[in-house]
Amino acid sequence: MFLGIDIGTSEVKAVLLDTSHRVVGSAGSVLTVSRPHPGHSEQNPHDWWSATQAALGELRKTHPAEYAAVRAIGLSGQMHGAVLLDAQDRVLRPAILWNDTRCSEECVQMMAELPELAQLGGSLAMPGFTAPKLRWVARHEPEVFKQVAKVLLPKDYVRLMLTGDYATDMSDASGTLWLDVQQRAWSDKLLALTGFTQAHMPRLVEGSQASGTLTAEVAQSLGLSKDVLVAGGAGDNAASAVGMGAVQAGQGFLSLGTSGVLFVVTPSYQPNAASATHAFCHAIPGQWHQMSVMLSAASALQWVTHLLGVANEGALANQAASLTLAERAAAPLFLPYLAGERTPHNDANVRGSFHGLNFETDATRLGYSVIEGVTFGLNDGLAALKAAGSTVKRLSLVGGGSRSAMWAQQLASALDIEIVTHASSTVGGALGAARLGWLATGADPHAVCLPPAVEATYTPDAAEQEVLMPRYAQFRALYKR
């Protein structure tokens, strides 16, 4: 058996995978996000470890025999988060997360100080990335900064708890702005922008490589063998790609999680920072990928669901699906920039808004508008990827939003592309992590990285496109205004 652990923003998920590609069991433990000031987003790293222990405890209880047979663990996690440790591995402050926008000024400084930053790091300096967060800490919390001995990413803090090792993989390291993405090595030039050296960084491994084994104490506590390998793993998006079997050039997926991601595998390192896309290492050796990211996707639907007092996001999505095409054409437009935006605007200060509210606007129409606004933001992302040289004809839809058939169909029509969903799509990151654990035992990537069975296929609908395209043109004009 292979165990995949995904350290998400809202939940830690764990899955058990067998050698016939069957997910035998899954468990989750909920996390909360702290927002102490506008634009700030933080979590306590200890909570990730507690949630991981809780999820594994649930799997151990519900699937004792399979759990005991685990041979390797793969880790996946939210990218860019800054975990600051002192020389005794004590956490110095809450981790600053990927969707924290406090360091936009530091990004401007970094780009000015090192014009080649985007070519080396694969992306423009954006507030979500790790390096500018550390410049912010150096400026605003100098006493904390002076004590920093190591900086880890979220999943790699959990690795430290499991193995006692400081290590990270190439895909997650790509999101720090400290990695020379083409060379797959830490960059002294990039590190110097935050006053760091390679001594502050964890060891680099490929995602499918073993990074270590469980400590004897942790193995006993978790009820696993101390010989269990822990793979390098991946950032959540690269892990989802491995889970979807997207490991060859031209393959990709669309994730409707807290954030919205379009991910396409490329045959080489292809940066194009001008379109605010990201060129990162893949979790598979010798592969890279391009990515467009919007900061608020399924989280926007979660926000409006709570705002309206509807039972849950699924219920609101079902209400929205009941609208006729004519009713959708008259619904308000929504700009989904609740926490700023990355692709294509790279604008930390833009905020969300509704346009065209009237007395007919009810909860159903507001729910529809939010779903459609996220769809339009993802279409902006696809346009940016195409401008960066990517080509893709079919995307796997993953993440919590993939449970809505209406949303999947709308994405197919708006993006003018075939969209497929899979039964296991809601555990994409954890499934990919389990596969990377499997690969760390020496398994053949061609046998492990298979695409899961397609549950449903959605193709562009001409009648829906007639409604969506004029509204998309209005959507794009509203940001400029």
For 95, 132, 151, 163, 379, the CA distances from 31, given in Å and listed in that order, are: 13, 25, 21, 23, 30
**Candidate list 236, 347, 416, 461, residue with the active-site label:** 236
- Please give the Cα distance from 237 to 254 (Å, whole number): 9
Domains and CATH numbers, the chain: 2-243 (3.30.420.40)
Tracing tokens 């039972």 back to the chain, one arrives at 311
Q: How large a percentage of the chain has pLDDT more than 70?
A: 99
Q: How far apart are CA 116 and CA 134, in angstroms?
A: 19
> 111-139 burial string, b = 16+ CB within 10 Å, else e?
beebeebbebbbbbbbbbbbbbbbbbbbe
224 in Cβ contact with 70 (< 8 Å): yes
- 324-370 pLDDT, tens digit each: 999 999 999 999 999 888 889 888 789 999 999 999 999 999 999 99
Q: Which of 135, 139, 388, 395 is nearest to 273 (CA)?
A: 388
Residues of the chain with pLDDT > 90: what percent?
84
pLDDT of residue 398: 85
Burial of 267 (0-12, 13-18, 19+ CB in 10 A): exposed
Span 244-264, average pLDDT: 90
pLDDT at 342: 85
| CA-closest candidate to residue 97, choices 22, 161, 34, 144 | 34
Q: With 90 as the cut, is the pLDDT of residue 423 above it?
A: no
What counts of helices (H) and strands (E) characterise the chain?
19, 24
- The candidate with the shortest Cα–Cα distance to 365, out of 355, 351, 375, 377, is 355
Over residues 123-150, the pLDDT tens digits come to 999 889 999 999 999 999 999 999 999 9
Is 80 annotated as belonging to a binding site? yes
What does the alpha-carbon distance between residue 96 and residue 451 come to, in Å, rounded to a whole number? Answer: 34
Write out pLDDT tens, residues 12-55: 999 999 999 999 999 999 999 999 999 899 999 999 999 999 99
Query: pLDDT tens, 358-413?
Result: 999 999 999 999 999 999 999 999 999 888 888 888 999 988 888 899 999 999 99
- Look at 164-168, 246-250, 280-284 and tell me which has the smallest mean pLDDT: 246-250
Q: What is the mean pLDDT of the chain?
A: 95
Could you tell me the CA-to-CA distances from 319 to 367, 372, 400, 410 in Å, in that order? 8, 14, 17, 15
Kind of pairing between the strands at 72-77 and 234-235: parallel
Q: Which residue has the tokens 């437009």?
A: 333
What pLDDT score does 250 carry?
85
**Contacts for 59 with CB less than 8 Å, ≥ 6 apart:** 3, 14, 16, 25, 26, 27, 67
Measured CA to CA, the distance from residue 342 to residue 265 in angstroms comes to: 20
Please report the pLDDT score of residue 427 as a whole number. Answer: 58
Q: At what angle do helices 428-439 and 236-243 cross, to 10 degrees?
A: 80
- Smallest CA-to-CA distance from 182 within 193, 174, 192, 190 is with 174
267 pLDDT band (50/70/90 cuts)?
Answer: confident
pLDDT at 426 over 70: no
pTM: 0.86
236 has catalytic annotation = yes
The stretch 65-93 carries a mean pLDDT of 98
**Does the N-terminal peptide bond of residue 344 adopt cis geometry, omega within 30 degrees of 0?**
yes
Half-sphere exposure of 414 (CA within 13 A, CB side): 25
Q: What is the pLDDT of residue 272?
A: 81
Write the pLDDT tens digit of every residue in 182-238. 999 999 999 999 999 999 999 999 999 999 999 999 999 999 999 999 999 999 989
Per-residue pLDDT, averaged over 269-290, amounts to 90
CB atoms within 10 A of CB 368: 24
Query: Is 46 annotated as a binding-site member?
Result: no
